[in-house]
Structure 1
């Protein structure tokens, strides 16, 4: 079996750890793969739920992505394990977008729960916390009102930090199409949020 550590030069201890776990999983060590699940399930859910706002469907996407990753361990050829898992999750989310029935869903239900409070952090000013929550709610709602393709491109570029080339590879479209989706998506978001711009000033 190919030694992944010998094919990937990295001084990143996280990447070395992940490659060791992948190698062990490919050798039949289920506990090693479960370690990867524990390490990345939260970040993968955070990625997918922005693309598939229904939280139950997003959770199913992540679960299916891990199943797919386990079935296709042999296809991993080195590099970033996190990026590899992200690509699988993006594909699962896109499949869900295509298959999703045309029915209204309530994204981010915690915003509708008056008892919900934002996580505790450095910022303790109640007014600023309220503004931050309102911004998050406005953006989350706006994202559900642009096309799936635009939302996927914007989430990957503006939130996850992938470059155009990486997004093109993940989504199976040309570089020009990625740029167009991001541009059109941003314009659509600006129009949707035009009456709420006071939230984003100051």
Structure 2
């Protein structure tokens, strides 16, 4: 049975605007979360979502229906994020948004199952430290860690999104985790 997103992509390719609008609805939040986790900037993440769908729309004829649509759109979004990261100035402060409220990490604000407020504060601080540590990862490790642990993609899907062998993905995940472990040992 054909995936719904593949069917929608075929319809959109043939000029069905409603089908394209459904694709946008299916993927806009996923692409936003991917972009926000990679760029840690709400405005830039919103721009990436728009640019991703613009590229999808203008390149629908290039989409290979034998490939998962999700892999294709994640590849486009990830590549746009990587391009944006490369264009940033080296002295860009990765937590510059923290004071204006837009950089709020909503995952860190999820209610805890812990009973005491102290436990909740410790958990929130730990999540913030993990998020900050992820931000310090070199780009190639950060991308893989975000796709695996924050977007919950499989190694195979990450391999397809980044057009890299699974062995490279495993290596980058391992090195990214080691980098995070060392960083967290110094903090906690």
Q: TM-score range by the shorter chain?
A: 0.7 to 0.9
Q: 2:149 aligned with 1:158, yes or no?
A: yes
Q: 2:152 aligned with 1:180, yes or no?
A: no
Q: 2:39 aligned with 1:48, yes or no?
A: no
Cα offset, 1:153, TM superposition: 1.0
| TM-score between both structures, scaled by the size of structure 1 | 0.75
Q: Report the count of equivalent residues.
A: 182
Cα offset, 1:69, TM superposition: 0.6
More displaced 10-residue stretch of structure 1: 76-85 or 58-67: 76-85
Q: 2:76 aligned with 1:85, yes or no?
A: no
| TM-score between both structures, scaled by the size of structure 2 | 0.80
Q: 1:20 to 1:122 in 2, by over 3 A?
A: farther
Q: 2:57 aligned with 1:70, yes or no?
A: yes
Structure 1 unmatched ranges of 5 or more = 1-8, 198-202
- Asked if 2 retains the 8 angstrom alpha-carbon contact of 1:143 and 1:151, the reply is yes
Q: 1:92 to 1:48 in 2, by over 3 A?
A: same
For 1:20 and 1:43, the matched residues in 2 are separated by: 19
For 1:20 and 1:176, the matched residues in 2 are separated by: 32
Aligned-residue CA RMSD in angstroms?
2.8
What residue number does 1:32 align with? 19
- Asked if 2 retains the 8 angstrom alpha-carbon contact of 1:108 and 1:140, the reply is no
What residue number does 1:5 align with? none
**Residue by residue, what CA displacement relative to the aligned partner does 1:126-157 show, whole Å, maximum 9, x if unpaired?**
44443332222111100111101100011122
Structure exhibiting the larger radius of gyration computed from Cα positions: 1
